[in-house]
Structure 1
Amino acid sequence: MPVASRVMQYLNRQGLSYQQLHHDRVGTLEAAIEAAKVVQDEVAVAEILVDAKGVVMSITPLGKKMDLERLNQMTRRNLQRIAQHQADRLFKDCEPGSHPPVAKAYGVHAVCDETLFSKQQIYIQSGSHTTLLRLSRDCFQQMMGSALKMSACVCTKEYKETPDEKAEAACASFDIKERLNKLYRLPPMPTVAARILQITQDIDASVDDLARIIEQDPSLTAQVLRQAGSALYGYRGEIKTIKDAVARVLGFERVSQIALSIAASKAFDLPKDGPLGLRNFWKHAMHCSLLVQRLAFHVPDKRVDPGMAYLAGLLHNFGLLLLGHLFKPEFGMLNKLAASEPFTELATLEKQVLGMGSAKELVGVGHGQLGSVLLEKWQLPEEVCATAAHHQEKDYEGEFQDYVALIQLANCLLKELELGDDLMPDDPLVYTRRLGMDADITFEVFEQLKQSSAALTDLAAGM
C-alpha cells in the first residue's frame, strides 16, 4: 500500500485532501525528493523524541533538527532522540525508515517548527518508499491541530548527537510504561485517595473539605488521629476530630499527605512480614519522609520544597507495592531473597526475580520504574513520580535530581537503623556533595531523627 493505513484513515476521517506523488522505489527520503522533483524546503519530516512520560513527534523542515535544550526548557521534560530503528516500532504500518509526520494518526503529541506554516504546500513521507504526499498549507495547518508550535530548529550539521546510552534509557523507560499498560491491569487510585488528591490541588479547599473526605473512612480517620496524638509531635491536649488534627498539630499539608498515602496504599494486598512486607514498608516510609523533609530545609538555594520532599519520601517505594500486587509469586521470592541476602542491593535481586513466570516481560525493570508508571497514572506531582522512577539510579541527572539525591541520602543514612530495601553499605558524603549540603548539619539532623525513631516505629505499626 503506497500510503500507511493509519495515515490514510486519519486524513480521510478529517476530510483533509492530499495528492500522492508516486516515484521509483528508493532507499532514502533525499532520493525520493530527487525522483519526485520536489523542493527540499517544502518537505516536513518527523523525528521521534522520548522520555519517561512518553513520545513526542518533532516535525521540522528537512535538514533541520529541533533544538532539544530549548524544547525541554519550555516543556519541563527530558526528551531524547532515538535511533531510526527504534522509531520504526511506532510506525508499525510503515516501511522501515518511512515516518509520516502525522502525529495524531499515531496517538502522540507533536511539536512543529513554525517556519513550515509559511509554505504554500508541504510534502511528507507516506509510509512507503514509493510515494510522497502533498498537502496544501491550510490542510497541513489543520493536520497539525494542537501541536506545540515553536521556532527552535538548528541545521543537522550544527546539532550535537545524543549519546546512545541516553536514547536507549529514554526508549526503555517508555517501553516499560507501554508494556505495563498493555499487559497488566494497573489498580485505580482508591476513591478516597483520589478525592484527597483533588483537594490538595484546589487552592480554595478548606480544612472542612479535607476533614469531610477523611471522616468518611473510619479506618483512615483513626489512623490520622493516631498520627496527631503521637509523642512525635508532643501535643498533650485532646484531639477528637480531623479538624483538631489539622489545626492544632499536623497542619493541612501534612494531614493531606499522610491521608493520601494511607488511602492510596489500600489499592494493594501484600503480606505484612519480611523485609519488603507492609510492616517494614511503612516503618521505612515514615522514617524516610520525616528525614527528607528535615534535610530539605538545608539544601542550598531552597531548591527543594520540604513538603514535596515529605510526600516523595512516603511514596518513592510504591513500586514495591505494585510489584507485590501484580506478581505475587515473584514478590514472595524477592522478599525471601532480601531476607537471606540483606547486603545485596535490591536492584540486583530484582533482576534475578523479575523475568520469571508472569513477570517475564519486565526482566531487569526495578520497582522504582514500576512505581513511577503507577504514580503518573494516578496523576501525582512530577517531583514524586521522578523520585520514584530514579531513586535506584545513583548517577541520575535530570530535572528533579535534587529530590532524587535527597531520597538517596536519606536511604543511605537509614541503613544504620537497618531500614530500607537493603543494607548494602553506601557513602552519604556522595549525596551531600551532590546536593551542596553541609555534612555536619546532615549528620546532626539524622541524630535528631534517631531520637524520634521509636515514635515513628510505633506509628508505622498501626498503618
Structure 2
Amino acid sequence: MNLPDTVRSYLDQRQLPYRTMACPSGETLGQVATRLDLPLRRMVRIVLLKDSSGLVMAILPGSHILDFSMLCQALRRDLAPLYGAETIRFFQNRGCKAGSYPPLHEAFGIPALADDGLILADEDEIYFDGGSGDTLIGMRNVDFRSLLGRARWEHFAVPVDDLDSLLSQQAITPQNLTSLTNRYTPAGLREGIEAITELPVMPQTVQQILMLRAHLTTNAQDILRIVEQDPSLAAQVVYWARSPLHGHPVAVDSLQTAIEQVLGVDNTLNLLLGSSMSQTFRIPADGPVGLKAFWRHSIYCASLVSELAKLLPESVDVKPELAYLCGLLHDFGYLVLGHVFPARFFLFNRFLAVNRHVPVSAIERYVLGTEHWHIGAWLMHSWSMPEEVIAAVRWHHHEDCTQPHAAYSNLVLIANRLLHYIGIGDEESSRLPALAMFTLGIGHDQAMAALTQVQASMQALDTLSEALQLPSEG
C-alpha cells in the first residue's frame, strides 16, 4: 500500500493522523464501501470541472449526486466536468494510478468546492482514495475538514435517496424528465448526441482481434501471440474455459488447452473482442444498465442467440459465430453513453431503478438525448465492425426490420423478448415478433425450448458474465 509521493508528502506535511486500508483495485467507490462494510455517506468522491478560468475540484459524499444548477449558481460559473481520459491524465501526471482520484486539492494545486454534506461529527471517520488504486485513507472528520481549510464550502449535492424519492413521487412526463435532467447535467452537455464530437479510438488489441477474425485460416497459435502479451487477457481466457458452461472433463491448465480444446477459435475471438472493447469505456458497475447488468444481459443474449441459430433452416444464411457476436455487442451503445456522459448516465440509472413502468426508450430520449442503438451503431461503424453486427446493433428493437442482414437483428430481438420471461434485459414485452419468427422459420415452442436450454446454464452464464467485468491491468 504505497501512496503516491504527491499524496504521502502532502499528508506528512500537514501532520494530521490518518490510517491506510487495503481495498480492491478496479472497483467503484460503492463497491469498495460494500466490500469493506463502510457507509457510502462517509466515502469521499471528486469531480474535476473546468471553464475558461481553469479547473475546480468538486468534493462531495459518495452517497450524493452533484446538482449542477446549484453548483453553477454558487460559483456564478458555467462549469463542465472533465470526463474519461482527461481526468485520468490529470491524476496520472501527478503520480496517481489510473482511475484513482484523491480529494486533496492543495496537493494538486487547484481550487476546490466542498459540499457541506461532508460535515459530520468531529470523531466520525471519513474515507477517501489514496491515489495508488489499492489504498483507502481513513481519518477523523475534523482532520479531513482541516485538509480542506482553503476549500469553499457550499451546498451543491443531494443524497441519492432524496433523488429516488423525488423520482418515485413525480409524474414522469417529457417536461419533467427534461427539467430534472437539466438540473443534474452541465449546461454544455444538454445537446444530446451532437455533444459527442468524436468517439474513442479503437484499441490496438481490438484491431488485432478483428484482423484475426477476418482470416479464415486463424488458429490457436495466432490468438496466443496476442493474448500472451497481455496477462489480464490470458487470465480471462483460462477463466472462461474453466466455466462449468463448457463442461470440460479435465483441468484447464494452459492457454492452448483453453483455446483448442474448450472454447474454440471463434468463441475465444468473440469473447476477447467484447472484453477488449469494453475496457475502453469506464461506466459504473451498478444500476439497471451498469456494467454488471450490461454483461449479464449480453452473455445471456449471445447464448440464446446461439441456441436460436441452431434452429434455423438451411435457407436462412446466418453464421453462428457472427450471430453470437451480435448478441454480445448489441447493447454496446450504453457503454459509450455512460463513458461520455457519466452524470447523465448516473441519472439515467436512477430513473430506471425507480420507474420500471416507464418505457426505457422514452427515458433514454429525454435523459440521454438519444437511444443506445443509435450511438452503438455509430461506434460499430466507426470501428469498422462487420456489417452484420452494425445491423444487429441498429435494428434489434425493430419488429418489422427488412434491412440487409435483418436475420441477425431479428435473432437478437427474439432473444431479448424471450429473456423478458426471466427478468433479464431492457425489452418491455415478452410477445414474440410474428414477422421475425416467420422469416427465420422458428416456431413458438422451439423458441421456448431454446430459452429452457439457456435457463439450465444460468449459474455458468453468470460466472462468465462476472469474468467479463474483470478490469484490465495496467
TM-score range, shorter chain: 0.5 to 0.7
| 1:285 to 2:285 alignment | no
Q: Are 1:447 and 2:452 an aligned pair? A: yes
What pairs with 1:235-254 in structure 2 (closer than 5 Å)? 235-254=248-267
**Counterpart in the other structure of 2:211:** 198
Q: What are the Cα deviations for residues 216-258 of structure 1, in whole angstroms up to 9, with x where unaligned?
A: 1111111111111110110021212221112111110000110
Shift of 1:180: 6.1
| Secondary structure of residue in 2 paired with 1:188 | coil
Match of 1:261 among 244, 253, 274: 274
CA distance in 2: counterparts of 1:263 and 1:276, whole angstroms: 19
SS of equivalent to 2:239: helix
Distance (whole Å) between structure 2 residues aligned to residue 438 and residue 392 of structure 1: 20
**1:462 counterpart SS class:** helix
Equivalent in the alignment of 2:156: none
Q: Is the 8 A contact 1:429 1:439 kept in 2?
A: no
1:342 aligns with 2:347: no
Give the corresponding residue for 1:393.
Answer: 398
> 1:181 offset after TM fit, Å?
8.7
One-letter amino acid matched to 1:415: H
Supply the distance in 2 between the matched residues of 1:388 and 1:459 (Cα, whole angstroms). 22
Separation in 1, partners of 2:276, 2:200: 13
Displacement after TM superposition at 1:440 (Å):
1.3
Among residues 262, 286, 289, which one is paired with 1:273 in the alignment?
Answer: 286
Structure 1 residue 193, shift from structure 2 partner: 1.6
Match of 2:181 in 1: none
Partner of 2:246: 233
Distance in 2 separating the partners of 1:212 and 1:247:
14
Q: Does 1:427 align with 2:441?
A: no
CA distance in 2 between counterparts of 1:210 and 1:180 reads 36
The Cα of 1:396 is off from its aligned counterpart by 2.2
Alpha-carbon shift at residue 435 of structure 1 (Å) = 2.5
CA deviations 1:39-82 (Å, max 9, x no partner) are xxxxxxxxxxxxxxxxxxxxxxxxxxxxxxxxxxxxxxxxxxxx
Deviation at 1:346, TM superposition (A): 1.6
Q: Distance in 1 between matches of 2:217 and 2:235?
A: 26
| Counterpart position of 2:189 | none
Task: Check whether the contact 2:388–2:408 (CA below 8 A) recurs between aligned residues.
Answer: yes
* Structure 2 residue 231 is matched with structure 1 residue 218: yes
Please report how far the alpha carbon of residue 209 of structure 1 lies from its aligned counterpart in structure 2 after TM superposition: 1.3
- 1:224–1:343 CA distance, 2 compared to 1 (3 A): farther
Tell me how far apart the structure 2 counterparts of residues 247 and 321 of structure 1 sit (CA, whole Å).
Answer: 31
The partner residue of 1:374 within 357, 373, 379 is 379
Amino acid at match of 2:335: L
| 8 Å Cα contact 1:347-1:392 kept in structure 2 | no
> Which of these residues, 413, 419, 422, is aligned with residue 414 of structure 1?
419
Question: For 2:345 and 2:277, how far apart are their aligned partners in 1?
Answer: 19
Native 8 Å contact 1:225 1:242 kept in 2: yes
CA contact (8 A) 2:209 2:269 kept: yes
Letter of the 1:286 counterpart: I
Maintained 8 Å contact 1:369/1:390: no
Match of 1:24 in 2: none
1:405, CA displacement in angstroms? 1.1
Partner of 1:327: 341
Equivalence for 1:184: 197
CA distance, structure 2, for counterparts of residue 345 and residue 292 of structure 1: 24
Q: For the residues of structure 2 that align with 1:193 and 1:271, how far apart are their CA atoms?
A: 22
List structure 1 segments (4+ residues) > 4 angstroms apart after TM superposition: 179-183
CA distance in 1, matches of 2:368, 2:361: 10
Structure 2: state its 5+ residue gaps: 1-191, 469-474
Q: 1 CA distance for matches of 2:373 and 2:409?
A: 11
Across the aligned residues of Structure 1 and Structure 2, the Cα RMSD in angstroms comes to 1.8
Query: What is residue 351 of structure 1 aligned with on the other side?
Result: 365
Say whether the 8 Å CA contact 2:392–2:409 is kept in structure 1: yes
- 1:254 and 1:180, CA in 2 relative to 1: closer, same or farther beyond 3 A? same
Secondary structure at the aligned position of 1:232 is classed as helix
For residues 342 and 336 of structure 1, the distance between their equivalents in structure 2, rounded to whole angstroms, comes to 10
Q: Distance in 2 between matches of 1:182 and 1:333?
A: 18
SS in 1 for 2:399: coil
1:303 paired with 2:312, answer: no
What amino acid maps onto 1:376 in structure 2?
A: H
* 2:466 is the alignment partner of 1:461: yes
Q: Is the 8 A contact 2:283 2:335 kept in 1?
A: yes
Aligned residues: 275
Q: Which amino acid aligns with 2:227?
A: I
Deviations 1:296-318 (CA, angstroms, capped at 9, x unpaired): 12123232221111000000110
Question: In 1, Cα distance between the equivalents of 2:252 and 2:215?
Answer: 26
1:131-142 aligned within 5 A:
none
Cα offsets for 1:3-54 (capped at 9, x unmatched): xxxxxxxxxxxxxxxxxxxxxxxxxxxxxxxxxxxxxxxxxxxxxxxxxxxx
- Compute the displacement of 1:429 (Å): 5.1
CA separation of 1:204/1:425 partners in 2, compared to 1, >3 Å: closer, same or farther?
closer
| Aligned CA distance change for structure 1 residues 395 and 249 (closer, same or farther; 3 Å) | same
How far did 1:434 drift?
4.3
* TM-score, length basis structure 2: 0.56
Q: SS at the partner of 2:323?
A: helix
Is the contact made by 1:276 and 1:320 (CA closer than 8 Å) also made in structure 2? yes
Does the C-alpha gap of structure 1 residues 343 and 296 become closer, same or farther in structure 2, counting only changes over 3 Å? farther
Identity across aligned pairs (percent)? 34
Offset at residue 285 of structure 1 (A)? 0.7
Matched, 1:313 2:327: yes
Contact 1:292 / 1:406 at 8 angstroms: preserved in 2? yes
- Counterpart residue identity of residue 260, structure 2: A
Amino acid at match of 2:198: R
Alignment partners' CA distance in 2, 1:381 and 1:181:
25
